[in-house]
Amino acid sequence: MTNPYDLNPAVAAARAIMISQSRHRNTKEKPLTIREAAKRYTASKSAIGRHLKSMKLFGKPAFSDNSVGRPRNLDEAEERAVTAYIMWLERAGFPCNQLLIEEAANTLRASRTPPEGPVGNGWYRRFLADNPQLQKKKLVRAFDRERAGFEAGDINDLQEFYTNLGVVVEERDIEASQMFNADECGIRIGAIRERLERIFYNAWMRKCSWIHDTAVNGV
């Protein structure tokens, strides 16, 4: 069975604090503080404090959704799955933003028995606070920065995009039945290992997928 202290840096930090406090009773060594532990283990101070309190009161980390207080949106295994998903996106070269992360969390909650609703408005902020290692990932923020830059841009850029799109539709003889709205087609744009740009898109209605090679087929 996996040791719960190895699951999360905040738990390891809380355990280190408890050990240092116990050692302090028999030595003059200064006990480890939450601030120092957060820096040493790269963990959130609030998460360390939550686990430390639970370990002192109940003898175990605050992993359970049935613990005292407000239930967590995701359990420990689900949070690790979302974290792994973010890391995979970064390695694949795909931008990752709040929308994709919340979508992954909502998918996990919907797969429960019985299914549960989407995460709350403040979940994303708390998730990043509990996983500070993700805040160092450039791609977690890159897409949001690009979006902000686009919204501040000129309308001519948008007109140029749709003009070019119209040319591609006409040249490729793309019919209306081959076009999908955002809620009908999942899209990922990025670079795979060989750095060749691809567009992956899946049509849920037709239950099939395509890979569009921009290096060969253009936009």
- 50-84 tens-digit pLDDT: 888 888 887 877 765 444 456 678 888 888 889 88
- pLDDT band for position 43 (cuts 50, 70, 90): confident
- pLDDT band for position 198 (cuts 50, 70, 90): very low
**Among residues of the chain, what percentage have pLDDT more than 90?**
7
Q: Which has the higher per-residue pLDDT, 27 or 39?
A: 39
DSSP string for residues in 132-190: GGGGG-HHHHHHHHHHHHHHTS-HHHHHHHHHHHHHHHHHTT--GGG---TTTEEEEEE
Burial-class residue 69 by CB neighbours within 10 Å (0-12, 13-18, 19+).
Answer: exposed
- Whole-number Å distance between alpha carbons of 219 and 214: 5
User: Number of C-alpha atoms within 13 angstroms, CB side, residue 105?
Assistant: 24
Alpha helices (runs of H) in the chain, residue ranges in sequence order: 9-24, 34-41, 45-58, 76-92, 98-110, 123-130, 138-151, 155-171, 214-217
Contact 15, 55 (CB under 8 A): yes
Tell me the pLDDT tens digit for each residue of 87-142: 888 777 776 788 888 999 999 999 988 888 999 888 988 888 888 777 665 545 55
Give pLDDT, residue 10. 86
